[in-house]
């Protein structure tokens, strides 16, 4: 089975399971969907916090009991080589880089990079931080790491720099980050949407709306509504640059996911919603 197909099926299955728990039977309306659900009886983690797919095809699941990888058939608990203390540590967020590396955020403060060659890098903790690991992560085009977790931080050339530490970034709440095909870095906080001014090295607020960030296959940037708010387009595609083929597999997004055919899957409706952005 195609690895991306596996990812999308699992995302849909998890979203549908959440919708089923939240809605009465009369409101479900899922009878027309063909879906597969993996449960703990099949080896799946009981509480999946995040998902990402690396370029080698592995689907990675972050749970409160550590990291798990899935090949489409079997689930396997995974402890980073040489770091048994991470085996059962809670995974908060993950990001799969284009070069095959996997960035993993562990509670309370750890950030670990699982390199494609099998080696492991454990990043130093920022000098000033609370016991909050990155809640959102993005790898920039130069290989540096951007994170949100009690502020926006940038890890480059072996050290952390705090870029934003105002009230918008210190709550334990829903955050989202996105690097689009134009090289623009977007950040979503409970108070709105922000865009990095690379010249100044600071983020400017561009919207008061709340939600998650995603791109369509043609490269449009969308805000996926949270808490029942509407989804809306933030930026049209520029320079005819399409979204990278594997963009949908980089990380799962709590507000929703846009598949390769332009379909938006979201939990923002009274039930699971699917509609085309193309």
Whether a cis peptide bond, with omega within 30° of 0, leads into 176 is no
Q: What are the CA-CA distances from residue 202 to residues 168, 197, 232 (Å)?
A: 14, 5, 24
Q: Is a pLDDT exceeding 50 seen at residue 36? A: yes
- Asked whether residue 38 is assigned to any structural domain, the reply reads no
pLDDT of residue 50: 87
* Residues above pLDDT 70, as percent of the chain: 78
Query: What CA–CA distance (Å, rounded) separates 93 from 79?
Result: 16
pLDDT band per the 50, 70, 90 thresholds, residue 15: very low
Query: What CA–CA distance (Å, rounded) separates 103 from 195?
Result: 22
* Residues above pLDDT 90, as percent of the chain: 33
pLDDT band per the 50, 70, 90 thresholds, residue 46: confident
- Asked whether residue 193 is assigned to any structural domain, the reply reads yes
- Write the secondary structure of the chain as one string of H (helix), E (strand) and C (coil): CCHHHHHHHHHHHHHHHHHHHHCCHHHCCCCCCCCCCCCHHHCCCCCEEEEEECCCCCEEEEECCEEEEECCCCEEEECCCCCHHHCCCCEEEEEECCCCCEEEEECCCEEEEECCCCCEEECCCCCCCCCCCCCEEEECCCCCEEEECCCEEEEECCEEEEEECCHHHCCCCCCEEEECCCCCEEEEECCEEEEEECCCCEEEEEECCCEEEEECCCCCEEEEECCCCCCEEEECCCCCCCCCCCHHHCCCCCCCEECCCCEEEECCCCCCEEEECC
pLDDT band per the 50, 70, 90 thresholds, residue 16: very low
Least confident span in 73-82, 167-176, 178-187, 236-245: 236-245
- Asked whether residue 20 is assigned to any structural domain, the reply reads no
pLDDT of residue 24: 38
- Asked whether residue 63 is assigned to any structural domain, the reply reads no
pLDDT of residue 23: 41
Query: What CA–CA distance (Å, rounded) separates 143 from 156?
Result: 8
Model confidence, pTM: 0.81
Between vectors from CA 46 to CA 125 and to CA 96, what angle results, nearest 5°?
45
Query: What CA–CA distance (Å, rounded) separates 115 from 109?
Result: 19
Mean residue pLDDT of the chain comes to: 80
184, 177 contact by CB (below 8 A): no
- Asked whether residue 119 is assigned to any structural domain, the reply reads yes
User: Three-state DSSP class for 218?
Assistant: coil
6, 70 contact by CB (below 8 A): yes
Higher local confidence (pLDDT), 103 or 254: 103
pLDDT of residue 267: 59
- Asked whether residue 127 is assigned to any structural domain, the reply reads yes
- Asked whether residue 68 is assigned to any structural domain, the reply reads no
Query: What does the block give as tokens for 118?
Result: 């099998």
Domain holding 206, by residue range, is 79-276
User: Three-state DSSP class for 8?
Assistant: helix
Query: At 120, which CATH number?
Result: 2.120.10.30
Q: How many domains does the chain have?
A: 1
257, 10 contact by CB (below 8 A): no
Least confident span in 41-50, 102-111, 112-121, 235-244: 235-244
- Asked whether residue 49 is assigned to any structural domain, the reply reads no
Higher local confidence (pLDDT), 268 or 25: 268
pLDDT of residue 217: 85
């Amino acid at each position: 089975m195609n690895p991306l197909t596996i990812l999308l099926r699992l995302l849909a299955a998890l979203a549908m399971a959440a919708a089923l728990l939240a809605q009465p039977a009369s409101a479900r309306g899922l009878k027309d969907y063909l879906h597969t659900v993996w449960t703990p009886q099949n080896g799946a983690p009981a509480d999946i916090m995040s998902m990402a797919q690396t370029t080698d095809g592995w689907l990675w699941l972050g749970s409160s009991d550590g990291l798990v990888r899935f090949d489409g058939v079997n689930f396997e608990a995974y402890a980073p080589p040489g770091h048994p203390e991470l085996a059962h540590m809670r995974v908060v967020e993950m990001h799969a880089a284009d070069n095959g590396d996997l960035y993993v955020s562990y509670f309370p403060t750890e950030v670990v990079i699982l390199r494609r060659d099998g080696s492991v890098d454990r990043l130093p903790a920022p000098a000033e931080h609370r016991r909050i690991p990155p809640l959102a992560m993005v790898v920039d085009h130069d290989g540096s790491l951007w994170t949100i977790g009690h502020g926006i931080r940038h890890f480059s050339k072996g050290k952390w720099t705090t870029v934003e530490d105002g009230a918008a970034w210190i709550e334990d709440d829903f955050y989202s980050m996105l690097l689009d095909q134009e090289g623009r870095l977007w950040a979503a906080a409970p108070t709105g949407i922000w865009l990095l001014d690379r010249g100044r090295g600071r983020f400017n607020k561009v919207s008061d709306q709340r939600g998650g960030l995603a791109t369509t296959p043609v490269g449009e940037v969308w805000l996926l509504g949270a808490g029942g708010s509407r989804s809306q387009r933030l930026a049209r595609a520029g320079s005819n640059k399409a979204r990278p083929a594997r963009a949908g597999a980089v990380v799962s997004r709590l507000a929703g996911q846009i598949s390769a055919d332009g379909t938006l899957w979201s939990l923002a409706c009274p039930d699971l919603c699917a509609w085309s952005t193309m």
